[in-house]
Structure 1
Amino acid sequence: MERVASFSLLILVIIGIIKTKPLDAQNVIGARAVSLGQASTALPNEEWAVFSNPALMSSKNKSVSFFGIRYYGFAELTDMAASVNYPTGWGTLGAGAHRYGYDLFNRSRIRVAYKNSFQLFHYGAVLNYSHVSQGGGYGSAGAVGLDVGIAAVLFKGGWIGARATNINQPNYGNTDEVLPRELAIGLSYQLSDIALLSSDVVKDVRFPISYRGGIEVYIFESFTARAGITTEPVTFSGGFGYESDIWQINVVAQNHTDLGISPGLDLSIKW
């Protein structure tokens, strides 16, 4: 009985989501990026760049990262992800895994990425396998997509980045359900030693343009505070992070104006 009640409430929340603004598994992964209003297309050396813009995967540090965010207090609406970043002498390799949902409905992704650079120009690509499953005997299907990204240094402290997702326009199995396709362009600027600004313009082919922006401020050594905002849907976010030489932790709380607060965190280990 509790399971039926929980499922019914979940359905009501999903209906509310559809009637307000589109929400699926978070396309932007990582507590830092979500804190910055999901403006991550031009964030250099971001641990979760394998999900946002492969051109900005770190060419210096090897890292492994873990992330989780729970939407509006529902365990059934949870994103979980992991990523690996591994620089080599001939480019940077990356991999990521992501799961959204629960046993009656879930989406998962496996991503393999490559990044390289020439002088101040960076480029990367991701091969992405997406799988959707519906419980109760409704079946499952998968699809392979290709994402690409580019980035460049405009001036000292200033970056521009762009990405395109699922450029091959894949469908799940033999269905007519296409994977999300987005075009995004972003700018980031390190104002000083204590502040960074980041902004994105994102267009999903199915939905209106989304504007995103955030600020990161260094409060004291190794500790940062962040805030961000998005449109389509309207969300406000805030968080903080602490970084040492070998590990980093970030915490975020994102507030959807119609649906409420979603807490999340990530942990990265670097060497």
Structure 2
Amino acid sequence: MKTLLAFILALGFGLILPAQNGVFIATNARSIGLGGSGVAASGLASLGNNPAGLADLENWGAGVQAEQRFLLSELQLLTAAGALPTASGSFGLQINYFGFEAYNEQKIGLTYARKLFDQLYLGAQVGVFNTRIPEYGSRALVTFDVGLLAPISREITFGFQLINPMRMEIIDGEYLATVLRFGLDYQPAEKIHLLAEVEKDIQQPVRVHAGLEYRIVDPLYLRLGVATEPVSMSFGFGYVLAGGLAIDVAASYHQILGFTPALGITYRGE
């Protein structure tokens, strides 16, 4: 019965799932704690979000992430990613797995980003997305995302991302989601980030995300967030350890389906 429920959720709930017909959005615990906001993130925090954010990466970094939707083991999202800055721009690799034995999705993506100007970064990701249903086999497609990041001032950063602009069919009647995201990261004080974001799947209602990040003390961060369509609330913490290691924990709450916990571990090289 539990497996049947998970299969129905995987096929039927669209935006409330971490894998949205080929789209893995907010696949890091920091963004989940901020209500899914992340399109204006930069550096290592942009992994799983806007590819343009990697242009601001100063040192190499890597991370792993685990998310379990509604506390169901069948609805797991696992992510591993890494990025490296070079003189020619920043390069990244991201691997996602979502689902369970009866239905699962995998994606491998390669990202390239660079600064065109001090206030304009561009990035793109090319990936292979595979859907596997044992009764029907597997289907692999090539996907791509493009992003833009603009630090307008010290306080305000604007982000834009277009995901899967080509509407490609996964299986009969099911298509890769095409999603537009744009938003702001506003830093009114050194310890505070306010984030707001609009997300539009061409086949779904507009979704709004908002988040607050507050640095309680130097290594400890508190995060709160909210999202619409469907309405969900989230919270999280981040702790930066010595030596470049950071741990992020978060949870979002859906009023009908319950909690979704997430854990992320990242390492920033010297």
TM-score (norm 1): 0.91
> How many equivalent pairs are there?
262
Shift of 1:194: 1.3
Name the SS of the counterpart of 1:168 in structure 2. Answer: coil
2:17 is matched with which residue: 12, 23, 26? 23
1:264 maps to: 262
- Cα distance in 1 between the residues matched to 2:99 and 2:204: 22
- Cα distance in 2 between the residues matched to 1:143 and 1:13: 23
Name the SS of the counterpart of 1:72 in structure 2. Answer: helix
Name the SS of the counterpart of 1:33 in structure 2. Answer: helix
Q: Which moved more, 1:162-171 or 1:125-134?
A: 162-171
1:195 maps to: 192
- Cα distance in 2 between the residues matched to 1:170 and 1:243: 41
2:121 maps to: 122
Change (3 A) 1:88 1:107: same
Shift of 1:24: 4.8
1:158 maps to: 156
Q: Which ranges of structure 2 fall in alignment gaps of 5 or more residues? A: none
Whether the 8 Å CA contact 1:236–1:256 is kept in 2: the answer is: yes
1:87 maps to: 85
Shift of 1:171: 2.6
1:8 maps to: 4
Shift of 1:46: 3.7
Shift of 1:15: 7.8
1:61 maps to: 59
Q: Which ranges of structure 1 fall in alignment gaps of 5 or more residues? A: none
Mapping of 1:28-107 within 5 angstroms?
28-47=26-45, 49-57=46-54, 58-107=56-105
Whether the 8 Å CA contact 2:187–2:193 is kept in 1: the answer is: yes
- Cα distance in 2 between the residues matched to 1:255 and 1:51: 21
Shift of 1:168: 2.5
- Cα distance in 2 between the residues matched to 1:11 and 1:92: 38
Query: Aligned letter for 2:221?
Result: T
Note the alpha carbon deviations across 1:203-238, whole angstroms, 9 max, x for none.
000101001000000111210000000001111000
TM-score (norm 2): 0.92
1:255 maps to: 253
Note the alpha carbon deviations across 1:38-86, whole angstroms, 9 max, x for none.
1101112243x24310111142021010000111111000000011110
